[in-house]
């Protein structure tokens, strides 16, 4: 086991495969399938962390060919997306080719998720298996931090003229920000939960806010696991997963992994961001794109949220030190 980690029976670390027609995460999903087959007759938990659509987006031609007829009209996209298109062109990229590559990469994920769901059906355990699909953040920026200087010379893989940093064309709609930001476009991501017969199918809930912090207490509740007095940062959101439109009772916070980073906070429909020595406040109920700073209009809300944010920040380490990871020791 890795030092400090417990409860893991199998660990498989794999690279991203850019040669398979099933997409670059095919080997990861195949490993997950083997684990499920081995544990089908007892309770199991499996976590699948894929590379799609992580930088670099470099799908095989057979996947991209499915989108050969895709044409991009910039006017169909929000103002927030226009900068991404500009960055793509600045790097020497073609927007339509880059979009086709991005869609080809996503299609590889569609294929693998479909195969996994079919495997659950074939093993006759789909009805008693909770499946959660989510992303850890919004779409990545076209110009990947740390790679700006490489520009159009950043060419890898076997695809003709593929420049990975041009191909990060995920779309956050009207939401501002992308990965590496704490705006809604960076922290709001899709969540799909499936449990046949328990979770209503086809229901879309755009009113409730669920965090990754909520997964453990929620899954423990759904599985009937007593957690005693264990203190979770997240909440039990089982009611929301099962179809209600409930709201969380606690605020959510974000800050980069450095002691001097600016923090952000979500409390109901209010979103507060530190910006240097100041703050900006947005009312997401009328401004999901975070365009209009209303801090001066709601001083009481601002003061209340600042106090709560300061209290949260006071619980964080004063400094962050990265230590080399120890070599894993695998145990039977």
> Is 210's pLDDT higher than 50?
yes
Total of domains in the chain:
2
162 part of a folded domain: yes
Q: pLDDT tier at 208 (50, 70, 90 boundaries)?
A: very high
> Is 67's pLDDT higher than 90?
yes
Containing domain of residue 42, as a range? 26-196
Q: What pLDDT score does 1 carry?
A: 38
Q: What pLDDT score does 12 carry?
A: 73
Q: Are residues 192 and 119 in the same domain?
A: yes
Q: What pLDDT score does 188 carry?
A: 94
Q: Quick one: DSSP state of residue 274?
A: E
Burial of 119 (0-12, 13-18, 19+ CB in 10 A): middle
> Is 328's pLDDT higher than 80?
no
Q: What pLDDT score does 101 carry?
A: 93
List the CATH number of the domain containing 259: 3.30.1120.10
Full-model pTM: 0.85
List the CATH number of the domain containing 178: 3.40.720.10
Q: What pLDDT score does 14 carry?
A: 76
Question: Please, are residues 12 and 38 in contact by the beta-carbon 8 Å criterion?
Answer: no
Q: pLDDT tier at 6 (50, 70, 90 boundaries)?
A: low
Question: Please, are residues 186 and 179 in contact by the beta-carbon 8 Å criterion?
Answer: yes
Domain stop point among 155, 172, 196: 196
Q: Are residues 160 and 267 in the same domain?
A: no
Q: Tell me the pLDDT tens digit for each residue of 216-248.
A: 999 999 999 888 767 788 999 999 999 999 999
User: What is the overall mean pLDDT for the chain?
Assistant: 86
Q: Are residues 155 and 270 in the same domain?
A: no
Extract long-range pairs of 33-40: CB within 8 Å, 24+ residues apart: 33/115, 33/116, 33/119, 35/10, 36/119, 36/120, 36/123, 36/125, 37/119, 37/123, 40/123, 40/125
């Amino acid at each position: 086991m890795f030092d400090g980690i417990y409860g893991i029976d199998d660990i498989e670390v794999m690279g991203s495969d850019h040669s398979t027609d099933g997409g670059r995460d095919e080997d990861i999903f195949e490993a997950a399938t083997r684990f499920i087959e081995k544990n089908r007759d007892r309770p199991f938990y499996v976590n699948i962390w894929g590379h799609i659509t992580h930088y670099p987006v470099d799908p095989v031609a057979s996947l991209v060919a499915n989108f050969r007829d895709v044409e991009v009209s910039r006017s169909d996209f929000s103002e927030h997306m226009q900068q991404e298109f500009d960055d793509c062109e600045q790097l020497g990229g073609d927007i339509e080719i880059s979009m086709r590559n991005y869609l080809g990469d996503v299609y590889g994920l569609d294929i693998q998720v479909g195969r996994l769901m079919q495997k659950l059906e074939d093993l006759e355990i789909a009805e008693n298996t909770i499946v959660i699909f989510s992303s850890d953040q919004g779409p990545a920026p076209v110009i990947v931090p740390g790679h700006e200087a490489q520009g159009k010379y950043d060419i890898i893989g076997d695809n003709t003229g593929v420049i990975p940093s041009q191909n990060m064309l995920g779309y956050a709609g009207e939401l501002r920000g992308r990965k590496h930001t704490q705006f809604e476009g960076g922290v709001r991501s899709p969540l799909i939960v499936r449990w046949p017969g328990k979770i209503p199918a086809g229901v879309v809930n755009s009113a409730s806010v669920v965090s990754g912090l909520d997964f453990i207490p929620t899954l423990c509740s759904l599985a009937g696991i007593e957690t005693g007095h264990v203190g979770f940062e997240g909440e039990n959101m089982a009611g929301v997963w099962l179809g209600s439109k409930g709201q969380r009772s606690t605020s959510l916070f974000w800050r980069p992994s450095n002691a001097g980073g600016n923090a952000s906070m979500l409390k109901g429909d209010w979103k507060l961001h530190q910006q240097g020595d100041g703050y900006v406040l947005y009312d997401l109920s009328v401004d999901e794109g975070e365009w209009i700073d209303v801090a001066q209009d709601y001083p009481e809300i601002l003061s209340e949220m600042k106090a709560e944010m300061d209290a949260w920040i006071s619980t964080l380490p004063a400094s962050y030190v990265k230590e080399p990871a120890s070599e894993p020791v695998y145990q039977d």
